[in-house]
Amino acid sequence: MPKFIRKKSGINNWGLFAGQDFRKGDKVIEYKGKKYTHKQVEEDDRFDNSKAIYLFTLNKKTVLDGDTKSNTAKYINHTCDPNCEVDIIKGKIWIIATQDIKKGDELSYDYGFGYDKDFRQFPCKCGSKNCCGYIVRDDQRWRINRKFAKTKQGRLNKLGN
């Protein structure tokens, strides 16, 4: 039985599913790829957000591009209520189980995007009750919730409600 199964996901397109049980704290899979400097990524049109990108910041100098055939972890989707997290251990990116994961469960983690001018380019489709509608890290979601609460309240006030 394979350790992972790539199949259609209810979250977004393809997902990675557990082919076996994992326990909380297990190193589930390494996120692999080619290393670049931040400057190389900024100057390379391949990383312009016009298609899916698989970049991870390793440190202040280095970014890892996970868009390689050998990187099975690139199929793990974002959710606002994930069952995994990312940890950098000795220069390697590991996906770690944050809870027990049963065979057949979809693997997920919070992609950790910051709240910036580009947040609307990354809509979230996870459907969890914690979801704010965009892929931004947990500690930034309040900004989006506040932004849209003000917009909604403004519309209601204009309507006289």
Query: For residue 46, is it within any domain?
Result: no
Query: For residue 54, is it within any domain?
Result: no
Q: How far apart are CA 10 and CA 3, in angstroms?
A: 20
CATH code of the domain in which 19 resides: 2.170.270.10
Instruction: Concatenate the DSSP letters of all residues of 71-127 into one string.
Output: -GGGGPEE-SS-SEEEEEETTEEEEEESS-B-TTPBPEE------STTGGGSB----
Mind listing the pLDDT tens digit for each residue in 48-93?
Answer: 766 667 888 888 999 999 999 999 999 999 998 999 999 999 989 9
Query: For residue 120, is it within any domain?
Result: no
Count of domains observed in the chain: 1
Q: How far apart are CA 34 and CA 36, in angstroms?
A: 7
Query: For residue 79, is it within any domain?
Result: yes
Place of tokens 């394979």: 2
Q: How far apart are CA 116 and CA 26, in angstroms?
A: 32
Query: For residue 81, is it within any domain?
Result: yes
Structural domain for 83, as ranges: 4-32+71-114
Q: How far apart are CA 18 and CA 101, in angstroms?
A: 7
> Is 0.85 topped by the overall pTM?
no
pLDDT (tens, 9 = 90+) of the chain, 161 residues, equals: 789 999 999 888 899 999 999 999 999 999 999 999 989 988 888 777 666 678 888 889 999 999 999 999 999 999 989 999 999 999 899 999 999 999 999 999 988 765 666 666 678 888 888 787 777 766 665 556 666 665 544 433 434 44
